[in-house]
Amino acid sequence: MGPGKADAVRVIAAMWKREVAACFMAPLAYAVWFFFLLLMGFQFHALLQVLAAGPVHHGIMRLLMGESPFFWLAMWMLVPVITMRAFAEERRSGTLETLLTAPVTEWQVVGAKYAAALTFYAICWLPTLGYTWLLARYSPEAVLVDGGALGATYLGIGLLGAFFVAVGLLASAATRHQAVAAMITLVVLGIWFLAGFIPYYARAGGVQAVGRYMSSVLHMMEFSRGVIDSRPIVLYLTGSALALFVTVKLLEGRKWSG
């Protein structure tokens, strides 16, 4: 690695550390993390009530994540707050121009912020592994907590996060107001979520197929059963790449315009 590339790597690493540290220094992040875990705690309590009522016919991960309304509420609350300040705050404070003149490309800037947001996203989900450990350790239904379903579920959570965070960064790059960026992200994620119900209402077979392909709910239900399909993997990775590409183009346009 030449000196120029080594300097770029150091700058990107420094940006990543700064962004992760900024997440943990913001009081709002702790408040959101608290309510995120509170929602997931409610879902865990509801699952315990179901298990106490008698045998269940679905896998525990499907009840805990795949079919849980608390899961989606937690996701909608978490992602907009993680991403809203990424570029909007830089534009508001006037530091974006300085950032774009650093010896790194727009792709590297976006990549560093994206990696930092995903890091915080992953850290937020880590405590939920404790629920599955408690179930596997103490529940008579422990046989329903298998490693395949557990791994596939968190793979789905990671893919959803990769796509949703990329959308949030794009929204943040499109405005200088954090609240507006959060609302745009929330609306886009809500529309994407509602699009998943098209198969239940549409009559045309083609429309139903598109709805099933886009349905995050159906995807998470499948992941939580331990079923890994390449189609949602391609969808979320492609969607993430497209959102990041548009984000880079927005930054490039702003750099050349002033």
* pLDDT score, position 255: 62
Tokens of 119: 């890091």
For residue 162 the two structure tokens come to 């990769």
Q: Is the distance from CB of 172 to CB of 182 less than 8 angstroms?
A: no
Q: Is-contact 19 113, C-beta < 8 A?
A: yes
Global confidence as pTM: 0.87
Residue 137 pLDDT greater than 80, yes or no: no
The closest alpha carbon to 57, from 144, 135, 176, belongs to: 144
Q: 22-31, 43-52, 138-147, 227-236: which range is least confident on average?
A: 138-147
Report domain extents, the chain. 3-257
Reduced to 3 states (helix: H, G, I; strand: E, B; else coil), residue 204 is coil
Q: Exposed, middle or buried by CB within 10 Å (0-12, 13-18, 19+), for 15? A: buried
Radius of gyration of the chain, Cα coordinates, nearest whole angstrom = 20
